Every structure is written in C-alpha cells, then in structure tokens.
Structure 1
Amino acid sequence: MGLARSWLYAPGHRPDLVRKALEGPADAVVVDLEDAVPPAQKEQARDAVVAICDTAADRVWVRINASGTKWADGDAAALSGSPPAGVRVPKAEDPATVAALAERTGLPLQLLIESARGLRRVFELAECHPLVAGVSPGEADLAADLRIRDRRELAWARARIVTANRAAGLPSPVASVWTDLSDTAGLAEDSAALRDAGFFGRSVIHPSQIAPVHRAFTPDRDEVQRARALLDALDVAGDSSTWVDDRGRFVDPAVVAGARWVAELADTLRDLPDDHDEPAGARPGRSNP
C-alpha cells in the first residue's frame, strides 16, 4: 500500500459507507468492527467485512474488537480466511497476546495504545513480533485512562510512542483522529504539528478531513526543492561529514537524513497539486526525518 497519509474509518455494519470510502481519495480505509458497530450488529458487520476483503483487500485494514471481548476470537478467525491488508488492534497491552494474534492471522498488525498499561509496555509491544507494522495512539481512550483533560498534555505519551516505533525500526506512527468536524483549521494546524513531532499520516472519521490531512503530510514544492538541492550538494562536499552550504546552513549527516526522507517521500507520493504551497499550519523550514 505504500505510505498512507489518511486512514478513513468506516463502520463495518454499513457496507454502503464502506463502498463510498473505497471510492474516495483516502489512502487507506479502516473498516471498523469495534466502537462504531453496535453489539447487536457485530456478527453482521463481520460477515460484511469478509465480503469486502474478498474484493478490495489491498486498501482495507480492519479494526477488530479488543482482546478479551466475546467477539475477538471470531474476528481473528474470519480475517484469517479472508485477509485484509492488515489489522488494527485496539487496546493493545500484552505483547504475548499480540504475538499470538500475529501467529493466528499471519497479517500485519497496527497496534493502538489506549491505556496506561499499553503505554508502559509500548517498547515491548513494538518489538513483540515481526508482523507488528506500527504502534499508534488511540488518544480519546488514552486520555480518559490517564485522566488527562487537555490533549496537549499527551505530548510525552506521543513522544514515547514515536520513539518506540523508531527504536523498533518501524515507520513513524499514525496520528489519532481529530474529533471536531467543524474545525478544519484546527485539524490542519494540529496535523502539521504532529508531522513536526514525528508522526506520519492520520486517522480520519469523515471524508471532509482527508484533504487537509493530505496537505499536512505531503511535503510542499519548496521543501522538496530544498531537500533535493542539499542532496545534490553532497557531490560538491565530497567525503566531508559536515559542511556549510551555499546558503550558509550547517549540514551534517542528520540534516542529510532529513533531506533524504523528504525527497523519498515526494517520490513515493508523486501527487503534489499545482496549488500546494505550504501545508496548513506548518512551520517553515521544518521536516521530519
């Protein structure tokens, strides 16, 4: 699937909404069997997800019900027979349980940290099985469990999750949802700040959130040009590990790594629109290696 900037949730018991999501511009679609599905419709949703995975598995991830619920085993069994691109695992807390799920399904797992217990063991979770594809925060539940009222106070938890991913050799984590559908400007600013903080991509709950999220996580033209100019300057610098470029900027291997990430990201996405200047809310000159 490559790098996904947007992960659009769609309720599993509403195949009509799942189809609309798949027809839209989201980079990935997360069909939800957990919070979005009423208990009485869990079985119906699971059957619908199996049918969807049989026809559009390459873009579909499935958020299953949490371990310990009466639906968890059935979810795992169903997806083993009709595999999606991967599985989102809510309320991940126990590395042994995650490893057992990976062995059972044989699918990439994206773990959601939604409790103090999960946050405490996030480094173990990130390395508990080769099929763990990433670890991301589920901030509504995490804030509730930590009794945090202002999500800005989750900065330490976010940094811990970013560090756990990178220490395990995993991609940057996916940012949690922005729940205020009326505040597009806030979504754009917050997404740009999260990119600066080490996240890449964001879960979204409505198609209207996709465009601002894509802008925030797509390097703009000037950023890409700066990165490529710096990489071109490597030929001039030769074997020097540090130098000052023609614009007076000190350059070392860490700066080069950041530029290489931006250039590779642009090559992968290849969809910079003509009117795309600076990502909304971004701070000029910042990039996320």
Structure 2
Amino acid sequence: MTTARSILFVPGSRPDRYEKAAASAADLVVVDLEDAVGPDDKTTARASAFAWPGLPAAALRINAPGTDWYEADLAALTAAHASNRAPTAVLLPKADANTTEVTAASLPPGTALLPLIESARGIRDADATADCEGVVRLVFGSVDYAHDIAATPRPPAEDELLHARSTLVNASRAAGLAAPVDGVTLALDDEELTEREARRSRDLGFGGKLALHPRQLPGIHRAFLPTEAELAWARRALEAARTSNGGAIRLDGEIMDLPRLHQARRILAQADPPS
C-alpha cells in the first residue's frame, strides 16, 4: 500500500461491487463504511464488508471517531483479526494527531493505518500525525478540507489547496513515510482532467491518488509514470555523469549537481509501476 498509485473506493453497502473493484486495475481497494454509506445501512454494510473473502487483501475506511459507529467498527476489526480475516489497512477519516494516536492504540497489532487528513485541524497536526505509531501513509481528503476552510478549489491546479498539499508532502518526508496520496477527482467521466490533476499531484510530491470509479484508474496510472521526455532527460543525465570522469557535469546548458542526478535515478526507477 505504500507504493499504491491508485486507491479505489467501493461502497460498503454495495457488496455486489466488491469483486468488480478487486478485479479492476486499482493498486488498492478500500471498502468504504463512511461517506458512501447512509446511517440506516451502516450495520449491514459492516457485516457485508467483514463477510467478504477479499477483505484481507483490501483496506477498510471506518467511521470517524465520535460517531455512533466508530466503536463497533473497531470491535469488528478486532474480531476479524482473531480469525485472520482483517483488512490489510485501515483508513481513518477526519484524522488529527489525537484521533490517530487513539485509533492506532485500539487497532489489532500490525494493522497499517492511513490517516485521512481532511480538516484544518488535521493539516495543523500533520507532522504529529505522521509520527504516530502504526501510520504508514498520509491521505488527503481534499473535498472535505476545502469545505472545512470554506475554499473553492478550481481544477486542475486547485492552487487554493496548495498549502495543505505541500504540508502533507513535507510531513510525510520528514517522518520517513511513503509519499502521500492525493484526493479524488469528482468528475467521473473526464479522464483527461483526472490525469491532469494526478500529474500535478505527482509534480507536488504525492505518490498516489484516490479514485471514485474504475474509469479514473488509467489516467491516474499514466500520470504517475514518467513522460518520454523525462525518461530521455534522465538517461542523458546519467550518461553525462558516467562519462565525466568525476568532473563537472553540464547538460543542456545547466550544471548537473548531485540532487539533479538523484532526480534522474528516481525518474528511471518510477518507470516500473509497483507490483
């Protein structure tokens, strides 16, 4: 899950879609017990999720702390762990440092925790949240965050949320976590927009993006692969370094220092998608 470029939500109340989601190209599937499930369907959705044989290979978004369903979700996770049926990871909505720490202490041992940062408090606590035990990756809930701060993001750049995104990238790097996962693209049928937003996420330092529908996956995957121009530059940079005999390296009128060479190696490494 630390290398997942695409994380696809499937409503917990739609068990008929579980296998379809698992058979998609998504790097990680999340059965959603929170936003995608109405109050009257929470109990049934939870039962369906934990009855699914594919859950141990998927992740689960539980309900937020303080809701009527949070404790029951945790209890179901503990019971599933005892019978080796627990999900591979848990997404915690409305996460901040305190709720992340409390939830991590309540999860079964070895459960990977992905805090979903979607509030001003969550962004404020990003460094502390990233340092919490059990946290493996931060996830940006961009839609809820924009609502919380009364912002109006304008795709595809969404510069209104730039501070929040950069905060999560920096917090992840400082804590030694994998690059964070960016929020969803709401336009389900605009593959070009999805890819443009995902490429901007990559340019900012994100390592993946949330998806609401399988048709968004190809654009996300393309965006997190280097372009042909980037690959060509990286190959030429490393070839120039190889033939420099330890001297100064000049490429396209620019001095190539160690950070640029590291960038070239990273680009080439990104050419192979995660298995």
TM-score normalised per structure 1 = 0.84
In structure 2, what is the equivalent of residue 118 of structure 1? Answer: 122
| Match 2:63 to one of 62, 65, 82 | 65
User: Does the Cα contact within 8 Å between 1:96 and 1:128 map onto a contact in 2?
Assistant: no
In structure 2, what is the equivalent of residue 169 of structure 1? Answer: 176
User: Does the Cα contact within 8 Å between 2:55 and 2:86 map onto a contact in 1?
Assistant: no
User: Does the Cα contact within 8 Å between 2:15 and 2:48 map onto a contact in 1?
Assistant: yes
1:96 Cα offset (Å)? 3.6
Segments ≥4 residues shifted beyond 6 Å: none
In structure 1, what is the equivalent of residue 145 of structure 2? Answer: 142
In structure 2, what is the equivalent of residue 103 of structure 1? Answer: 105
User: Does the Cα contact within 8 Å between 1:224 and 1:262 map onto a contact in 2?
Assistant: yes
1:224 Cα offset (Å)? 2.9
In structure 2, what is the equivalent of residue 48 of structure 1? Answer: 48
In structure 1, what is the equivalent of residue 131 of structure 2? Answer: 127
Equivalent AA in structure 1 for residue 100 of structure 2: V
1:127 Cα offset (Å)? 0.8
The whole-number CA distance in structure 1 between the counterparts of 2:274 and 2:34 is 30
User: Does the Cα contact within 8 Å between 2:49 and 2:55 map onto a contact in 1?
Assistant: no
Q: What is the CA RMSD across the aligned residues, in angstroms?
A: 2.0
| Match 1:255 to one of 257, 260, 264 | 260
Equivalent AA in structure 1 for residue 67 of structure 2: T
Q: How many residues align?
A: 264
Equivalent AA in structure 2 for residue 112 of structure 1: L
The whole-number CA distance in structure 2 between the counterparts of 1:174 and 1:113 is 10
1:79 aligns with 2:85: no
In structure 1, what is the equivalent of residue 198 of structure 2? Answer: 191
The whole-number CA distance in structure 2 between the counterparts of 1:146 and 1:11 is 26
User: For 1:222-233, what aligned pairs fall within 5 Å after superposition?
Assistant: 222-233=229-240
The whole-number CA distance in structure 2 between the counterparts of 1:121 and 1:169 is 16
The whole-number CA distance in structure 1 between the counterparts of 2:74 and 2:263 is 38
List per-residue Cα deviations over 1:131-163 (Å, max 9, x = no partner). 211112111110111010235211111111111
Unaligned 5+ residue runs, structure 1? Answer: 271-289
| Match 1:243 to one of 245, 249, 259 | 249
The whole-number CA distance in structure 1 between the counterparts of 2:274 and 2:225 is 8
Cα separation, partners in 2 of 1:267 and 1:140, compared to 1, 3 Å: closer
1:26 Cα offset (Å)? 1.1
The whole-number CA distance in structure 1 between the counterparts of 2:235 and 2:166 is 28
The whole-number CA distance in structure 2 between the counterparts of 1:67 and 1:261 is 38
User: Does the Cα contact within 8 Å between 1:64 and 1:87 map onto a contact in 2?
Assistant: yes
Equivalent AA in structure 2 for residue 263 of structure 1: L
The whole-number CA distance in structure 2 between the counterparts of 1:237 and 1:12 is 57
Identity %: 39
TM-score normalised per structure 2 = 0.88
